[in-house]
Structure 1
């Protein structure tokens, strides 16, 4: 009995130490992400919208106010549901995420009762790590497919900090019709895009693109956005759903809801 207790205690101590080490590493990576970016002193003006597609102009006038400072750093938390594949059950997930805008980058950590997932786009490289109980690695994705997918994630999630969607030397909007427009972004030789759909309230309600599904080929990917509220002086969606449109049918795999979002706070959340 004593030997069993000693073994269990040792195992628990190792697990605790491993989780503490992983948490410290993640916090260090967030600090490095923020320190490697820049702060812009730009201020949004309605005059910047001249020449943009009509629904895009209406969107920015709806979600931003004239004189809104550009958002440089973002940190947020979310709750929600996640599904690991077709036929799988929905499971609860909670996450925290950190973004830089002047230099494209983000770090996300999502935790369930059984696994921890980390997505990132840093210095032009994207990747995905998944570990069992936050300790034992089971997935480590790298390469050009992940660079494309994670840059798309950074760009799409800019709806949470919409000054990042204003046109610049790397970002442009192209007209489609009165309810849709094409968003194109380039970074370090990689170009990605979204077909963006707007509703009658001038909100972005859907993003559609072709995205690599892990190491497989390109598939149609959608983000559906809803429940807009004003926070930090900006109208943003608080609910988002991620969907793959596959030959065998539609796979909805993530349904997140914002719980906390803060702008220009370049610190890691305290546990």
Structure 2
């Protein structure tokens, strides 16, 4: 009996130490993320910037931003939701904490479930995915060109939460497709990325579709569905997002997140 108690105590101690070390590492990565980007809040959005843009894109920005809105430089976000570790797996509850920069494209996300902690990131031009079982042992540590592409695509799509990031500029361009669809192109760090963006009649973005690596070899259709728009901090943003792989055998949803908190231009962690 005493031996069992001792073993349980040691295992709990190892788990606590593992979670502490993971928390410290995440804190350092967030600090590194904010350190490499600068503020662009001195720039202000103007309706004059919309001249020449496709009609649904103009409709979107007039809806979600106010004339004179400062550009958003730093974002921190909390969410809850459900997640699948595989297309054939069951849904599990997840809580997420995420930080973004815009002047220098970057983000880091930590998603926590009962069994594992996942960290997605794009920092200093490099993408990475790490999954730790019980916050102790890395069962996934993905990096390389396919992760650079995938994580930068994630950062770009999640710009719907800080829409000044989707305004046209040197690296970002919009081209018309039809009255409710436009193509978003983004060129950065040797990568040329795109989304086919769908808008409703009100002007809300409802879907973003692209090609993304599902594994190291093959590009598949990836779709982000967004809805339930609310005005937060003076900006109209979707508070629900669903991630879907569209494969030959059908559509497979693997993430359903709902934003619970978002703040702008506070380059520091949640307390």
When normalised by structure 2's length, the TM-score is: 0.98
The answer to whether the 8 A contact 2:59-2:202 is kept is no
Q: CA deviation at 1:194?
A: 0.1
Q: CA deviation at 1:52?
A: 0.7
5+ residue gaps, structure 2? none
2:38 equivalent in structure 1: 38
Q: Matched residues in 1 for 2:9 and 2:115: separation? A: 20
Q: Matched residues in 2 for 1:5 and 1:87: separation? A: 37
Residue by residue, what CA displacement relative to the aligned partner does 1:176-204 show, whole Å, maximum 9, x if unpaired? 11100000001111110000000011000
The answer to whether the 8 A contact 1:211-1:220 is kept is yes
5+ residue gaps, structure 1? none
The answer to whether the 8 A contact 2:244-2:251 is kept is yes
Q: Secondary structure at the match of 1:70?
A: coil
Residues matched between the structures, number: 270
Q: Matched residues in 2 for 1:263 and 1:213: separation? A: 31
Q: Secondary structure at the match of 1:66?
A: coil
The answer to whether the 8 A contact 1:80-1:94 is kept is yes
The answer to whether the 8 A contact 1:109-1:117 is kept is yes
Q: Secondary structure at the match of 1:93?
A: strand
Q: Matched residues in 1 for 2:7 and 2:230: separation? A: 51
Q: Matched residues in 2 for 1:15 and 1:83: separation? A: 23
1:80 equivalent in structure 2: 81
1:139 equivalent in structure 2: 140
Q: Matched residues in 2 for 1:216 and 1:127: separation? A: 17
What is the CA RMSD across the aligned residues, in angstroms?
A: 0.9
Q: Matched residues in 2 for 1:127 and 1:187: separation? A: 17
User: Residues 1-271 of structure 1 correspond to what in structure 2 (within 5 A)?
Assistant: 1-40=1-40, 41-270=42-271
Q: Matched residues in 2 for 1:14 and 1:225: separation? A: 40
Residue by residue, what CA displacement relative to the aligned partner does 1:213-249 show, whole Å, maximum 9, x if unpaired? 1323000000011000101000000011000011121
The answer to whether the 8 A contact 2:111-2:118 is kept is yes
Q: Matched residues in 2 for 1:249 and 1:226: separation? A: 22
Q: Matched residues in 2 for 1:149 and 1:112: separation? A: 22
Q: Matched residues in 2 for 1:262 and 1:121: separation? A: 20
The answer to whether the 8 A contact 2:15-2:135 is kept is no
The answer to whether the 8 A contact 1:146-1:214 is kept is no
Q: CA deviation at 1:11?
A: 2.1
